[in-house]
């Protein structure tokens, strides 16, 4: 039996599903009536197929994102159990050198800022393979990772990062706090994937020392909207946050967001800093007040702002299809570069199959020889591009566009042109 990315077992075909579309907000339980964007029916974006699975039925689930008119949380119905997604996670954070550097810079900044030393305690939620906590451990600062995927947790242990193989929630936060409360709690790219937000944030409150700090990073809704990054929406990401919505959620659990940083990661993220209510020594910073005001000015507390997004996404689809159809009518060869999860959302929503995109390539050996879910486009190794000498190359991981254009610079020698799908389908000059 071979386990696919995120533990989607290939021999059992598909993960167990908990298809309970919720009509209520995941945070405040208000009825969800408004659609933010409807991406139609889509397969799970990480369930890459082997050749012998191509003839079997494949489950598709609604990818319809709603917005709560009470708390402005943008959210997706939950169709897949987190246990299925995370019990054996194929993504090791340490594979990405830029992400490890990001973590090192974070540790270097936080240690002096919070005065962390051998008497402190740092906890990371969804600590993956220890890519971040290793920098605290190296400085002799007691640390604990909490990570539900046993395989990545064991990689962390090998780095000397103590790791508990569990899902984090309110109860676990309370029981850990009986032993020791945390000076710093870190959560990077985990909040979007938490099905029970209230239990998770209550767990942070329970575990955090009265004088402690929690920092969480997640993609920023403003960047998703402005960059038209609808392809970053997956079934595995249940929530999409503005500063306004996350402040409301933290406040409901006795936590105050007092500072925020804007980051380049994942198409544009924010890192929030939270503390217990009533800690007057840390008032809201100017940059927090500024971002809160900017979101209000941009209308993230008004339904019209959210309603406008769906139409823009549909226009983007038509433009990309128009470009690909014209290329095919002219007899051009079009291939893809990359097989990221976001590519699967894009291709399924746009209905792009191998008649429009011959094949794609990816550096990850696990994906080579497999097929994209839903669209069944073949994935080859990058050398295939040199053989095929296509006229157009559609860059699916647009967030690495510059790196990919450099790697494929030689393709210009046979006249290949590069296309990015968003914010608008564009042939790069």
**Close Cβ partners of 318 (under 8 Å, ≥ 6 residues apart):** none
Residues that bind Zn ion (CB under 5 A): 25, 27-28, 30, 68, 70-71, 73
Q: Least CB distance from residue 249 to Zn ion, whole Å?
A: 9
Does the N-terminal peptide bond of residue 423 adopt cis geometry, omega within 30 degrees of 0?
yes
- Answer for the pair 347, 372: CB distance below 8 angstroms, yes or no: yes
Tokens of residue 6, six digits: 């995120």
- Answer for the pair 401, 407: CB distance below 8 angstroms, yes or no: no
H or E segment to which residue 383 belongs: helix 383-388
Of 68 and 110, which has the nearer Cβ to Zn ion? 68
Q: Least CB distance from residue 33 to Zn ion, whole Å?
A: 11
Q: Least CB distance from residue 241 to Zn ion, whole Å?
A: 12
Of 11 and 23, which has the nearer Cβ to Zn ion? 23
Q: Least CB distance from residue 219 to Zn ion, whole Å?
A: 19
Burial class (CB in 10 A: 0-12, 13-18, 19+), 89: buried
Q: Least CB distance from residue 255 to Zn ion, whole Å?
A: 17
DSSP string, 211-250: EEEEEEEEEBHHHHHHTT-GGG--TT--EEB-HHHHHHHH
Of 106 and 218, which has the nearer Cβ to Zn ion? 218
Tokens of residue 21, six digits: 């579309």
Q: Which residue has the tokens 């610079």?
A: 409
- Answer for the pair 1, 11: CB distance below 8 angstroms, yes or no: yes
Of 42 and 75, which has the nearer Cβ to Zn ion? 75
Of 64 and 128, which has the nearer Cβ to Zn ion? 64
Strand partners, 261: 271
Q: Least CB distance from residue 23 to Zn ion, whole Å?
A: 12
Q: Least CB distance from residue 22 to Zn ion, whole Å?
A: 11
Of 90 and 252, which has the nearer Cβ to Zn ion? 252
Of 30 and 427, which has the nearer Cβ to Zn ion? 30
Strand partners, 255: 276
């Amino acid at each position: 039996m071979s386990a696919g990315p995120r533990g989607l077992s290939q021999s059992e075909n598909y993960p167990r599903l908990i298809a309970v579309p919720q009509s209520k907000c995941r945070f405040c339980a208000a009825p969800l009536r408004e659609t933010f964007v409807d991406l139609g029916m889509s397969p799970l974006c990480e369930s890459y197929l082997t050749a012998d699975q191509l003839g079997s039925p494949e489950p598709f689930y609604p990818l319809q994102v709603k917005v709560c008119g009470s708390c402005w949380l943008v959210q997706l119905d939950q169709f897949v159990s987190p246990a299925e997604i995370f019990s054996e996670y194929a993504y090791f954070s340490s594979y990405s050198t830029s992400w490890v550097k990001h973590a090192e810079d974070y540790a270097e900044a936080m240690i002096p800022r919070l005065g962390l030393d051998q008497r402190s305690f740092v906890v990371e939620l969804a600590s993956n393979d220890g890519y971040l906590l290793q920098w605290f451990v190296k400085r002799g600062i007691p640390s604990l990772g909490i990570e539900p995927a046993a395989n990545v947790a064991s990689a962390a242990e090998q780095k000397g990062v103590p790791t508990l193989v569990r899902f984090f929630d309110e109860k676990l936060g309370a029981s850990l706090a009986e032993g020791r409360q945390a000076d710093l709690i870190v959560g990077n790219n985990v909040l979007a994937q938490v099905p029970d937000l209230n239990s998770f944030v209550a767990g942070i409150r329970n575990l955090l020392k009265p004088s402690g700090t929690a920092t969480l990073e997640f993609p920023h809704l403003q960047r998703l909207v402005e960059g038209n990054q609808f392809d970053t929406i997956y079934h595995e990401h249940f929530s999409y946050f503005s500063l306004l919505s996350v402040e409301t959620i933290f406040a409901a659990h006795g936590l105050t967001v007092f500072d925020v940083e804007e980051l380049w990661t994942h198409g544009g993220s924010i890192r929030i800093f939270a503390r217990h209510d009533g800690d007057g020594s840390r008032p809201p910073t100017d940059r927090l007040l500024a971002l809160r005001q900017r979101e209000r000015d941009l209308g993230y507390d008004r339904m019209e702002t959210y309603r406008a997004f769906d139409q823009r996404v549909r226009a983007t689809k038509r433009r990309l299809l128009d470009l690909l159809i014209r290329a095919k009518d002219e007899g051009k060869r079009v291939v893809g570069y990359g097989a990221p999860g976001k590519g699967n959302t894009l291709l399924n929503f746009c209905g792009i199959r191998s008649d429009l995109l011959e094949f794609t390539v990816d550096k990850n050996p696990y994906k080579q020889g497999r097929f994209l879910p839903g669209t069944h486009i073949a994935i080859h190794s990058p050398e295939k591009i040199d053989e095929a000498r296509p006229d157009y190359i559609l860059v699916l991981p647009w967030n690495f566009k510059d790196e990919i254009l450099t790697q494929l610079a030689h393709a210009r020698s046979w006249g290949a042109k590069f296309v990015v799908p968003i914010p608008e389908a564009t042939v790069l000059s």
